[in-house]
Chains A and B, each alone.
Chain A
C-alpha cells in the first residue's frame, strides 16, 4: 500500500510532462499547419533536382 505514496505522484508527474509538452507545442505554433506537416515529411532535404525553380506548375 505504501507503494501508492510514490507511484501515484510519479504517474501524475509523467502525465503532467505530457501536458506540458503539448502546451509547449501549441504555443510554438506546431498546430498551425497540420496539412503542411503531413506534406513536409515527403520533402527530402538532400534532393536537389531543380534548384532554380520551375516557372511552371506541377502537382
Chain B
C-alpha cells in the first residue's frame, strides 16, 4: 500500500460522515471531530472567555443533559457548559487556546453524541429576534389589558349603579395612562406592516387593525377630556392582546420548523480533506476552501465541493445530484459536484470557484429565474382584507354622513362612525388563519413534517397534480441488494464475510442483505477495486467485474459486485435503489383522490419506466436536465394546474421553486431543503398524504372561521351604525367572536383522533388531460 493510499485511508477515517437524519439510530460517533471546530470558536468580549456553539445529535432527556454538562465540566479549561434541550444545542465557554474546542467535541463523541459546531448568527438570523420582540409586545399588551379591564369593569358596573362623573373620569384617565404607552409599544408590529402595505399602495389585514387600534384610544382620550360616558381603551388593548397571541404562536410554529431544518442541515455538515502545499492532509470546513486548492476525496466519502478531478479515476454515485442511480465513471478532467459520493479509489479534486460554470451556480440561476416567473401567491386572509378594508371604511364614512344628513349632532355622528370601525375591526379575522395554522403545523410536526412557509398550507390544499422525482423521493436513494445471479444464499453469506470489513456503499448493502454475521480476518481492500481474502483453498475476491471475474463487459445496466471463489463460477450481485416501503400505497391513495400524477427524473429511461410501471404512474419522463424539469412544471402551470413537486436532488431544486408548492425529504441536498416549502422526515412517503389531508382540513376551517367572523361583524354593524355600541357591547362582541374562531380551529385537533386519515376523494379533475 502506498503512502498516498495510507493517507487516504486515514483521511477517510477522519472525515467520514454518514449523517442520514432519517436513520433511527445514529452511526457510531467518530472519536475525531469531523468538522474542525476551532474556526467556530468566538471570543466573548464581556467575559474574555472563548465560546463554542454545537448542535448535538441524540440529546433527549435530563440524563443526557447531566452527562454532557458534567463531562464537559470535568475538562480543566471549560468554565461553563449549558445544553439547550429545545434546540438540541450546547454552548460551551472555555479559557485558553481555541484548539481546546477539539477536545470538547471529542469528549462528546466519547459519550456517544455527535456534535457539530455551527455559527449561531448564521443559524438563527433575524427570526429569533423578531420572535422575542413579539413576546415582549405580547407581555406588555397582556399586562395593560388585565389592568385596564379591572378599571373598565368598574366603569361598566358604575353605569348601572350611578357612578359619579368625577369617579368615572378619574378611572378613564387611569385607563388612558396605561393604554396609550402600551398601544404605542405593542402595536408596532401591526403599524409597521400596515405602513409597508400602504406605501406599496395596497391594504392588508393590518391596515384596519391599526386604524381601529389608533382611532379607539384617540376618540376615548377626547371623550375622557370631555368627561364623556364611554371610553374604548379596554377594547383597543384587549384586541391588541388577542391579535399578538395569534401572531406570536404563528411565528413560533414556523420558527420551530425552520430551526429544525437548519439543525438537520448543520448536522450534515462535514469536513473536506484539504491537501496542503507540503502534502499533509487537514480537515477543514468546505466554506474555507479557496479556488485552486486541492482536496482528497476518500473512498465512500461525499464530495464536499464542486471541482475538477486532478488525479485518480473511478466511479461516483451522482444520484443526489442528477437522479442517476448507476454510478458514473470519472477520470482526470471530469467535473465533480458537491453531494456526489466517491465509490472508487481516492480522488484528488481541484476546487473550482463559484460561477466557474459549476453546477451549483447553474442551479441557483435556474432557481432564481423560476422564482421570478412564479406568480406571487396571495394568502386568503390578505385577499379577504383587500375587499374587507375598503368596505368597512366606506361603511364608516356612510354612517358619518348619514347621521349628519339626518340632522344628528356632529359628536354623535362621529362617535357612531368610529364605533363602526371599532366593531368591524377584524380581530376574529386576524385570528382566523393563525389559529388554524398553529394547530395544523403542530399536528404535522408530530408526523415529522416541518412546514416552513407561512402560506404553504393554503397552497397544499389547492393542488391538483403531484410531480415526483424518482431517486431519493419515490425510492430510498440508497443501494440495496436486488438479485444474486449465478449463486444462492450460501454465496451471499460467504461474500458478506468479506463485505463486512469494508465501508464501500455496495459492500455495506451486501452486508446488510446478509444480516449480522462474522467478518473474515485478514481481508485486504484494494481501494476502488474490491476486496480479497486468502482462504485455505485459494483467493476469494469481491469487487468490480474485471477484478473479481474475468467476464466480458456485457453492458448490463445497474450497479453490481462480482464474487469469485476458486473452482466455482463467479457470482454477480445486482443492486438497485428500492422503492420507499409505502410508495405504492401512497401513490395509489393520491390517485384515488383524483390527483394527476407525474414522474420527472434525471435517471435513464429503463430504470424510470420500471419504477413508473410498478407504481402505476402513467406520465413519466426520464433523462431530464434541471431546466427541462422546470420547463415541464411551467408548462403545467400554463395549463392552469396547481402542482405539488416532491423532490430531493440538486437537480430538483429549480423545479421545487417553480412548482406552486413543494415538499422535500430530510435526506435531500440542502439547496432543495431550503427551496422546499415543507420538509418531511423518515423512511416513509406517507407524510405526503398527511400534509395534503391536514392542509385540506385546515383550509376548510380557515374558510369557516373567516365566514364566521364576517357574519359576526355584519350582525354587530347595524348596532354600531345605529349608535348603540357602548364599550361593553364592543368587548362582548369582540371576545365572543374570537373565542368562537379559536374554538372552531381546535376542531382540527379533535377530529384528528376520530376521523380516518383519508378524506373523501375529490372528483377527478384534469386527470385525463394528456401529459
Residues of A within 8 A of B (CB): 1, 4, 8, 11-12, 15-16, 18-19, 22-23, 26, 31-36, 39-40, 42-43, 50-51, 53-59
Answer yes or no: B151 CB below 8 A from chain A CBs: yes
Contact B61 A36 (CB under 8 A): no
Query: Is B143's CB within 8 Å of the partner chain A?
Result: yes
Is A57 in contact with B58, judged by CB distance below 8 angstroms?
yes
Interface residues of B, dominant DSSP? helix
Residue among B62, B66, B139 making CB contact with A22, cutoff 8 Å: B139
Contacts A19-B139, A23-B136; A53 near B85 (Cβ below 8 A): no
Q: Mark B79-117, 1 if CB is under 8 A from A, else 0.
A: 000011111000000000000000000000011100000
Of the candidates B61, B65, B66, the one whose C-beta lies within 8 Å of that of A59 is B61
Q: Which residues of B contact A23 (CB under 8 A)?
A: 136, 139
Residues of B near A36 (CB, < 8 A) are 65, 83-86
Collect the chain A residues with CB atoms within 8 Å of residue B83's CB: 36
Closest to A37 in B: B85
**Known A-B contacts A12-B178, A42-B62; A53 and B71 likewise in contact (beta carbons under 8 Å):** yes
Q: Known contacts A8-B151, A19-B143, A32-B84; is A58 also within 8 Å of B63 by CB?
A: yes
Is A39 in contact with B86, judged by CB distance below 8 angstroms? no
CB of A12, distance to nearest CB on chain B (Å) = 6
Shortest A7–chain B CB gap in Å is 11
Instruction: Supply 15 A–B pairs (Cβ within 8 Å), ascending by A.
Output: A1-B167, A8-B174, A11-B150, A15-B146, A19-B143, A26-B132, A32-B86, A36-B65, A36-B83, A36-B85, A43-B62, A55-B110, A55-B112, A56-B112, A57-B58
Closest CB in chain A relative to B125 CB, distance in Å:
16
Least CB distance, B107 to chain A, in whole angstroms: 8
B135 close to A (CB within 8 Å): yes
Neighbouring A residues of B132 by C-beta, 8 Å: 26
Interface size band for B:
20 to 34
* A58 CB contacts on chain B under 8 angstroms: 63
Chain A residue at smallest Cβ distance from B87 = A33
Complex-state Cα separation, A33 to B128, whole angstroms: 13
Q: Are B146 and A51 in contact (CB under 8 A)?
A: no
CB pair A15 B147 closer than 8 Å: yes
A53–B174 Cα distance when bound, in Å, is 59
B67 / chain A contacts, CB cutoff of 8 Å: 50, 53-54
| CB atoms of A40 and B62 under 8 A apart | yes
Q: Which of A8, A26, A51, A56 contacts B135 (CB 8 A)?
A: A26
Contacts A26-B135, A26-B139, A54-B111 supplied; 14 other A-B pairs, CB < 8 Å: A12-B147, A19-B143, A22-B139, A32-B86, A33-B87, A36-B65, A36-B86, A39-B61, A43-B66, A50-B67, A51-B70, A53-B71, A53-B111, A57-B112
User: What is the minimal beta-carbon distance from B183 to any residue of chain A, in angstroms?
Assistant: 15
Residues of B with C-beta under 8 A to A33 = 84-87
Q: Name the one of B60, B143, B170, B174 contacting A18, with C-beta atoms under 8 angstroms.
A: B143
Known: A31-B135, A42-B62, A53-B71. A19 touches B84 (CB 8 A): no
Q: How far is the CA of A34 from the CA of B60 in the complex (A)?
A: 13
User: B135 to chain A: which residues have CB within 8 Å?
Assistant: 26, 31
Shortest CB distance A53–B (Å): 5
Is the Cβ of A40 less than 8 Å from the Cβ of B65?
Answer: yes
Interface residues of B in 50-74 (CB under 8 A from A): 58, 60-63, 65-67, 70-71
Within 8 Å of chain A (Cβ to Cβ): is B140?
A: yes
Q: Which residues of A contact B139 (CB under 8 A)?
A: 19, 22-23, 26
Closest chain B CB from A40 CB (angstroms): 6
**Which 7 pairs between the two chains have the least Cβ-Cβ distance?**
A36-B85, A39-B62, A42-B62, A33-B84, A35-B86, A19-B143, A35-B85
Cα distance A26–B84 in the bound complex, in angstroms: 15
Contact A19 B65, beta carbon cutoff 8 Å: no
Of the residues A15, A16, A43, A53, contact of B65 by C-beta under 8 Å: A43
Chain A residues with CB under 8 A of B111: 53-55
Residues of B within 8 A of A57 (CB): 58, 112
Give the distance in Å from the alpha carbon of A54 to the alpha carbon of B63 in the complex.
10
Complex contacts, B150 vs chain A, CB 8 Å: 11
Chain B residues numbered 192-226 whose CB sits less than 8 Å from any CB in chain A: none
Which residues in B have their C-beta under 8 angstroms from that of A8?
Answer: 151, 174
Query: Which residue of chain B has the shortest Cβ distance to A33 in the bound complex?
Result: B84
For B66, what are the chain A residues with a Cβ–Cβ distance below 8 Å? 43
Tell me the complex Cα distance, A34–B65, Å: 14
Please, which residue of chain B has its CB at the minimum distance from the CB of A51?
B70
- Provide the bound-state CA to CA distance between A24 and B216, in Å: 31
CB distance from A44 to the nearest CB of B (A): 9
How far apart are the CA atoms of A22 and B130 in the complex, in Å?
17
Query: Smallest CB–CB gap between B153 and chain A, Å?
Result: 13
